Amino acid sequence: MDLVAIDGMYLMEHGRMTTLLALIEKLPRRAVSDDPRLQLSCSWASGALQRGDKARAALEAARDALGRSALPEGEIEALRIEMDVPKRQSS
C-alpha cells in the first residue's frame, strides 16, 4: 500500500492514470479511505481522465483523511499545499 501511495505520482507523470486507479481499487477500502496520499492520487488521476465528480469526491476524502493522519508534519503540510492547487487553478 505504501508503494502505491509513495509512487502514485510516478505513474501519473508517465500517463498511467488508469493503472494507478486500478492499483488503488485493489487495496482495502478502509486503508484507501484513511490515506490522504492515496485519496489525492485518486483525485489527480480522476481529474486527468476527465472524471470531475470522482476527482472532487476524492479530493474531499483526502482532506478528511488528512485531518486524522499520523503522517509527519512536513508531509502533512506538503499535502495541504498540493490539495489547494485545484482551488488556485479555478480562481
User: HEC states along the chain?
Assistant: CHHHHHHHHHHHHCCCHHHHHHHHHHCCHHHHHHCHHHHHHHHHHHHHCCCHHHHHHHHHHHHHHHHCCCCCHHHHHHHHHHHHHHHHHHC
pLDDT along the chain (91 residues), means of 10: 84 93 95 94 95 95 94 93 74 52
CATH of the domain at 65: 1.25.40
* pTM, entire model: 0.86
For residue 90, the model assigns a pLDDT of 57
The domain total for the chain is: 1
The residue segments making up the domain with residue 25 are 2-90
Q: What is the pLDDT of residue 1?
A: 76
